[in-house]
Structure 1
Amino acid sequence: MLRCGPGALSRGDVALMRQGRRLVAHVVVSTAPWETASLVGDVDPPGGVTLGRVVAVRRGAWVLPLPRPFRPAMWMTQQALSAAWARPESRVVFRRVRDFFFSGWSRPLRRRLVGPLDVRLLRTDDLDALLVFAGERLVVSPGFLRRQLRERWGLAEPERRGAAAGAFDAQGRMQGFAWVDSYRQEALPLDGFWVRSLVVAPGVRRMGVATRLLGCLMAEAARQGEPCVYADIDDDNTASLRTFGGLGFRPASAELTRRTNQAWDAAGRTKALVVLERGLPP
């Protein structure tokens, strides 16, 4: 990213925007008046703080430069993708193609390619692997993760507060990540431990990685004396809702659901959340 303000951007540039706690990539639609649109995927709400211009997109080892001569092509691509994504049938086709490639038939092949995965709590020496994974798949800032790992998650067991777990392949690369901790650190008025940032790399999805990550975190939360663990999930994220339900999570009270949605609305989030909870053994 090239840090700059709206005045340095032109129509067709890709701008990095901060909306509440989220970072989103938008194509500049107009500069007078200032208007941006989602690059691809779900439509983001208007507004936000402009952080700079996206000069490259990285996905794993692949880096796609976005030089300014590409602006007309980016503009036309964004318009075509937005129009296609707005049609419900396009989303259905995309999900069916994705589900086909990462469904049961490909699981043996993917297991063979990836090899066995080690799911465990993170240690301070996992920082490099965590930052690489975060740069590819998380919206949480590297500074926040670095501080959490050094000051809370990576401590010796008696001192650990909250916890983070990762799924590592034989080469030490992180293939999945999740953490539990208190929202009070971020000034949200919600008590208890909450599951956060549960993300699994596409190549190992539907292989039980999410379930193993959550099991690891729940065991650690119980060791720390937490009576239960909570989760707040987008109401349209059926895969996550199914995973949590399979581990015994049940809908939380209407009052907690209301307070959670109210807290996130105040922080700039717009999607409705389903709040779940699961009791832990003493």
Structure 2
Amino acid sequence: MVQALIVHKDRLPQPQKMHQAAQYVRMSTDYQKYSIENQAVVIAAYAELHKLTIVRTYRDEGESGLKIENRTGLTELIDDVQSGRIEFGHLLVFDVSRWGRFQDVDESAHYEFICRKAGVKVAYCAEQFDNDGSLLSSIVKNIKRVMAAEFSQDRFDKLDAHRKWVNFHLENANRLREAFEDVGRRATLDQSTECLRIDNAVNICFRLAKWRKYGRQPPRWAMVGRVALQKGWVVALRMGENNEAVLDYLLLPSASLSFKSHVFSFSEDTRAAYKIERFQTFEALSRSLVERV
């Protein structure tokens, strides 16, 4: 008799569940727009507007949206919904892409369907449409899922291309190391910093100078300062239009670099002001550097 008076969380009356919500938040990058905090603020505002009380948070931080593996928050959410261990009737999500940027766009739709089938209403708090099951909302969601998948694929392709050119430039670093050793110099390459140290005294760091074009302005090239450069030289592989091929090779003293927000940018017009020398081939740059160091 006493047990009959206990209200279990997974057996809450339906009207009570419909005033309670869970939130799912995910961030895989350092983009401020998608920070956990920003998502929570938008979701909290939506909950207050619709008189919902958030009683549960499912969270995945620092996890890729390409696969469900290692995403304990989403996995736990789906398990709870399918088993009926839920005390909420709403699931609040920042936007459609928070389910994931799956290459199979039906996968994120599948997780929403699981929630809906269990009687949980899914709301996308930052989207400009109501997830009301209408034809329009279905079309918009599918478009956004496709966009999320394409965004992920585009980033993957760019990252893959970047790694290819970094590895290519590190091969140049090894060639320069051999050139110094051939003339009796001691040279060691630290691949973690992408820098070559000569006779434990002079540093030569290797960077990519990526092509950028803004409107009608002349093209510019940018180098990212991931780590503080030590005194010495910088060898830059300058990319051509759309960063699809090598344009030439640049040599400059590290003192010439002034990083703003970790990026050093220059144009062909400002190249001389930064004391940046241009070489058509890496062999020509290598010979010049071995002679002057």
TM-score range, shorter chain: under 0.3
Q: TM (normalized to structure 1)?
A: 0.20
Report the structure number with the largest CA radius of gyration: 2
Q: TM (normalized to structure 2)?
A: 0.20
Query: Relative CO higher for 1 or 2, CA cutoff 8 Å, sep ≥ 6?
Result: 1
